[in-house]
A and B are shown apart, each in its own frame.
Chain A
């Protein structure tokens, strides 16, 4: 009974003081844990274990197998139906079974964070997910995009009636992906956020739950994807940007025809992703001096674009740095201190409860802003460089004699194979050989 009175007194006192006493000052000695007279045994809380590490090896093994199989099907078998089947399997395993996490696209951020944050080490599986598709792409082209990536698979499956996107629009939209990659690297490097994961449009479908806005975003991508082939892969995917460049150098690559192009034009419109390049043999004669002048102009423009991009992005650092929680908190505290706002937020009251000095917080936020200012220069210069190079590459004239799959844009889906009459000859030949 005495204890009960103590409790009541304590509770009354604490209720009065509760405005002053903060939640974080919890004290385990407020009510000493009792010693029981009965033979009551204190239970201990259960601790269910996380997923076994073993599964990570399974994931990596499945990834290697899928990449190998995809490369084989694309380059040797040249069989769209089997590529399609593999796509569905990948969607089921990496998408719906593994819930789309971890994926190579998001792994970019883990890699970047581990470079800039010495305390963060990338787990083996994440590193493997990031690096293996890169290696495969260097050898076989974008066979990862073809049939392994669950995000690509999702879009590939909804493709219903592809429309062709004009090449200027295609080029312009593709810049988005460079901006996205740059931003994701900036946010990961400063430890602000994993931007790619936060705005992954399809992961909500894989989990069959998630943020409503992201579900809507994903639905929009799928809706657009019915008419514009793989919109995320082509215009947004930051990993696709890396694979594009590596794919330009790949040892082997998708060819539309199994042997010789007869320029029959049958495959011309077969690619839903606009990756088939026509022969350039019958280009009209052009004035070379004008072309040269333009090229020189564009080359001079390149550093200007880089500087402009860097300056703009750096100037935007007060906005971009808000992605970091500390900067947001410092801004909020500043508003509260200067009387701009009267109420407090969970974050600001949690900060005040820790008793840390406000000047320290301001200093920390200032440092982070500085990083964003500097990083902004790199990000802007990178985007400017890519835009400039794109302009330059558009004004270069290359000779092509055959219909070719563009090394960078081709996602190795294999749709064009069956449009080629030479392919049908090959298949017939194979059949008679077997008989």
Chain B
């Protein structure tokens, strides 16, 4: 009887000890995380310098319509009359006809500014983030058209599905207070 009682209290001691150890462990994990210093929340963003405009952004996003859109860095743009982000590689005519355009959804608007310059603007509601224009602009132009994760749409998944499918490792976690990696004039 005495023995049995001892046994129970021993088990209890063991259990309480383990319980305390687990609580300390959890607290330890918490303080470890806190001790890491910068606890900036991060969001996903595309590094335009690494991006190869493969087209995965349009298809791999968990959203039906991708959170990635084409963004135009106007300060980098040459305002070319013949823009290869706008026209296909062999345009039938140099005009706004749909058959001449590289954008499958007609999301880029071409407006005349002054001789011989044209402005190109992206209609985000039409853009699907396929990056066809980006490819053309990178290959033959200044590379002012580039893809960016749009944070009004992005769900900021713990693991971005597009990042997992990105062939060039262009996806990064960036601080949430600097959520864009826009191209700027001066550094290509």
Q: Which of B38, B76, B161 contacts A211 (CB 8 A)?
A: B161
* Residues B157 and A18 in contact, CB atoms below 8 Å apart: no
B9 vs chain A, min Cβ distance (A): 16
What is the 8 Å Cβ interface bit string for chain A, positions 36-49, against chain B (1 contact, 0 not)? Answer: 11101011110111
* Residues B188 and A28 in contact, CB atoms below 8 Å apart: yes
Q: Is A223 among interface residues, defined by CB-CB distance under 8 A?
A: no
Counting contact residues on chain B (CB < 8 A from A), the size range is: 35 or more
Q: Which of B22, B42, B121, B154 contacts A43 (CB 8 A)?
A: B121
* Residues A50 and B26 in contact, CB atoms below 8 Å apart: no
Q: A2-22: which have CB < 8 Å to B?
A: 3-4, 7-8, 10-11, 14-15, 18, 21
Q: What residues of B have a CB within 8 angstroms of the CB of A251 in the complex? A: 19
Q: What residues of A have a CB within 8 angstroms of the CB of B64 in the complex? A: 209
* Residues A210 and B62 in contact, CB atoms below 8 Å apart: yes
* Residues B188 and A27 in contact, CB atoms below 8 Å apart: yes
- A18, B173: Cα distance in complex, Å: 32
Q: Is A346 among interface residues, defined by CB-CB distance under 8 A?
A: yes
Q: What residues of B have a CB within 8 angstroms of the CB of A125 in the complex? A: 41
* Residues A15 and B159 in contact, CB atoms below 8 Å apart: no
Q: What residues of B have a CB within 8 angstroms of the CB of A4 in the complex? A: 81-82, 116
Q: Is B49 among interface residues, defined by CB-CB distance under 8 A?
A: yes
Q: Is A249 among interface residues, defined by CB-CB distance under 8 A?
A: yes
* Residues B142 and A27 in contact, CB atoms below 8 Å apart: yes
Q: Is B63 among interface residues, defined by CB-CB distance under 8 A?
A: yes
Q: What residues of A have a CB within 8 angstroms of the CB of B72 in the complex? A: 45
Q: B43-69: which have CB < 8 Å to A?
A: 43, 49-50, 52-54, 56, 62-64
Q: Which of A26, A31, A42, A131 contacts B29 (CB 8 A)?
A: A131
Q: Is A94 among interface residues, defined by CB-CB distance under 8 A?
A: no
- A3, B81: Cα distance in complex, Å: 10
* Residues B169 and A50 in contact, CB atoms below 8 Å apart: no
A86 vs chain B, min Cβ distance (A): 24
- A282, B95: Cα distance in complex, Å: 91
* Residues B139 and A18 in contact, CB atoms below 8 Å apart: yes
* Residues A48 and B152 in contact, CB atoms below 8 Å apart: yes
A11-B84, A45-B73, A197-B159 are contacts. A30–B78 as well, Cβ < 8 Å?
A: yes
Q: Which of A33, A122, A135, A193 contacts B76 (CB 8 A)?
A: A33
* Residues A14 and B139 in contact, CB atoms below 8 Å apart: yes
Q: What residues of B have a CB within 8 angstroms of the CB of A106 in the complex? A: 158-159
* Residues B81 and A50 in contact, CB atoms below 8 Å apart: no
Q: Is A1 among interface residues, defined by CB-CB distance under 8 A?
A: yes
A24-B52, A43-B121, A123-B41 are contacts. A11–B82 as well, Cβ < 8 Å?
A: yes
> Interface SS of chain B: helix, strand, loop or mixed?
loop
* Residues A47 and B39 in contact, CB atoms below 8 Å apart: no
Q: Which of B73, B79, B82 contacts A8 (CB 8 A)?
A: B82
Stretch at the interface among A107-115, A149-157, A173-181, A417-425: A107-115
* Residues B75 and A42 in contact, CB atoms below 8 Å apart: yes
Q: Which of B38, B167, B188 contacts A26 (CB 8 A)?
A: B188
Q: What residues of A have a CB within 8 angstroms of the CB of B15 in the complex? A: 249
Q: B61-107: which have CB < 8 Å to A?
A: 62-64, 71-82, 84, 89
* Residues B116 and A15 in contact, CB atoms below 8 Å apart: no
* Residues A114 and B36 in contact, CB atoms below 8 Å apart: yes
Q: Is A385 among interface residues, defined by CB-CB distance under 8 A?
A: no
* Residues B41 and A53 in contact, CB atoms below 8 Å apart: yes
Q: What residues of B have a CB within 8 angstroms of the CB of A45 in the complex? A: 71-74, 148, 182
* Residues A48 and B36 in contact, CB atoms below 8 Å apart: no
Q: What residues of B have a CB within 8 angstroms of the CB of A56 in the complex? A: 41
- A166, B151: Cα distance in complex, Å: 49
* Residues A36 and B168 in contact, CB atoms below 8 Å apart: no
A24-B49, A53-B41, A198-B164 are contacts. A346–B33 as well, Cβ < 8 Å?
A: no
- A14, B156: Cα distance in complex, Å: 38
What is the 8 Å Cβ interface bit string for chain A, positions 225-237, against chain B (1 contact, 0 not)? Answer: 0000000000000
* Residues B179 and A50 in contact, CB atoms below 8 Å apart: yes
A38-B113, A42-B74, A44-B74 are contacts. A49–B188 as well, Cβ < 8 Å?
A: no
- A385, B4: Cα distance in complex, Å: 30
A106-B158, A121-B39 are contacts. A28–B186 as well, Cβ < 8 Å?
A: yes
Q: Which of A23, A42, A209 contacts B139 (CB 8 A)?
A: A23
A224 vs chain B, min Cβ distance (A): 24
* Residues A193 and B33 in contact, CB atoms below 8 Å apart: no
Q: B112-151: which have CB < 8 Å to A?
A: 113-114, 116-117, 119, 121, 135, 137-144, 148, 150-151
Q: What is the interface of chain A, defined by CB distance below 8 A to chain B?
A: 1, 3-4, 7-8, 10-11, 14-15, 18, 21, 23-24, 26-34, 36-38, 40, 42-45, 47-51, 53, 56, 99, 101-102, 106-107, 109-111, 114-115, 120-127, 130-131, 134-135, 138, 193-194, 197-198, 203-204, 207, 209-211, 246, 249-251, 325, 345-347, 349-351, 353
Q: Told that A204-B62, A350-B168 touch, could you supply 18 new A-B pairs with CB distance under 8 A?
A: A18-B139, A28-B144, A29-B142, A29-B188, A30-B141, A31-B142, A33-B185, A34-B79, A36-B117, A47-B182, A48-B152, A101-B155, A109-B158, A110-B158, A115-B32, A121-B37, A121-B38, A207-B63
